[in-house]
Structure 1
Amino acid sequence: MALTQQLARVAPEYLIRCRASALDSPDASPNWSPPAGNCLDTGWATWGLLRHCRRSGADPGTVTLLDRAISGDPGGDVGFLDHDEVYDGFADPPRLLAPVAVADIAHGLDAIDLNTLLADLPHSPAAAAAVCGFGPGFDGDVRIHLVERFYALREFYRGAARRGQCVVAWID
């Protein structure tokens, strides 16, 4: 099974309920089950976009913003989500972005000019896949894949910011 980047947007109250469930449950189950419409699987796309940005010398602020959007902030009080009900335990436990951070990220993602960011992505699908770390088996148009997943990420954060939600990020 391949690892993918997962995100969930949830109300702060939902996290409070999950924390209470974990404390009350014999197996520390947080009863984690955000609605499917509030979850986003970016696959490997954002990792590939980050790799391309680092290689191409993109603005460090853009790299930091993209990394934060998929990695969360350190120190969030979500240790109760370190449970196999939430993720497979292969990578780091889930991390939290509070509503203020979510709004900052949404604003930052809105400011990114993706055409400029991808201007020097190789036109050859094989070369573009290699630059993004997708390997020789990637099938499809890398640019389209990155654009689609970036737009999904941006829309995801816009929705979370509008609703005052948190975002939980993890690899599964």
Structure 2
Amino acid sequence: MALTQQFARVAPEYLERLRAGAEEWDPGAENVLDTGWAVWGLILFCRASGAAPDTVALLDRAVSGDPDGDTGFLDHDGVHDGFTDPPRLLTFDAVADIASGLDALDPGALLADLPDSPDAASALCGFGPRFDGDVRAHLLEHLAAMREFYREAALHAQFVVTWVD
């Protein structure tokens, strides 16, 4: 089973109920996003292509969360499988900053230097030689999903929990 990047939008009050042990982890399917490994490929490509350091930092923060959040109460099998670091949290201010930054990105310009060759594009993104499909479309689809996810979280004053599962 492959590891994938996971996101959940949650209300601050929901996190407090989880922290107190009053509720089980279930943010609801409409509040969960799985980007597979696409966003990691986008970050690898951005680093390799010389994208602006602020862009790489924005994408890294969006998938990695902030290291200083108190999320130990989420470090159990009900949330993630324990193969990687525990979930991390992005508070509303961080979510709003990330949403704004993601909305400001020009996906076409960001991927302008992605090779047309599927094999070359796949290699630059770390997907390996047997990626099946259009790499550019795959990256754009998952970037758009992540942008919309963060936009909705910011609109509803939600926090975002990130983890690898």
TM-score, normalising length: structure 2: 0.98
Whole-angstrom CA distance in 2 between matches of 1:48 and 1:68: 15
Q: Please say if 1:6 is aligned against 2:6.
A: yes
Whole-angstrom CA distance in 1 between matches of 2:72 and 2:24: 14
Aligned residue for 2:66, secondary structure, equals: coil
Unaligned runs of 5+ in 1: 25-29
Report matched runs for 1:82-101 at 5 Å.
82-101=75-94
Match of 2:54 among 61, 65, 68: 61
Unaligned runs of 5+ in 2: none
Q: Which residue number corresponds to residue 164 of structure 2?
A: 171
Whole-angstrom CA distance in 2 between matches of 1:19 and 1:138: 40
Q: Measure how far apart 1:137 and its partner are.
A: 1.7
Runs of 4+ in 1 over 2 A off after TM superposition: none
Whole-angstrom CA distance in 2 between matches of 1:20 and 1:137: 46
Q: Which residue number corresponds to residue 124 of structure 1?
A: 117
1:148 is matched by which residue type in structure 2?
Answer: E
2:79 is matched by which residue type in structure 1?
Answer: V
Deviations 1:39-89 (A, max 9, x none): 000101100000000000000000000000010001101110011111000
Match of 2:42 among 30, 45, 49: 49
Match of 1:80 among 69, 73, 84: 73
1:58 is matched by which residue type in structure 2?
Answer: A
TM-score, normalising length: structure 1: 0.94
**CA-atom RMSD, angstroms?**
0.8
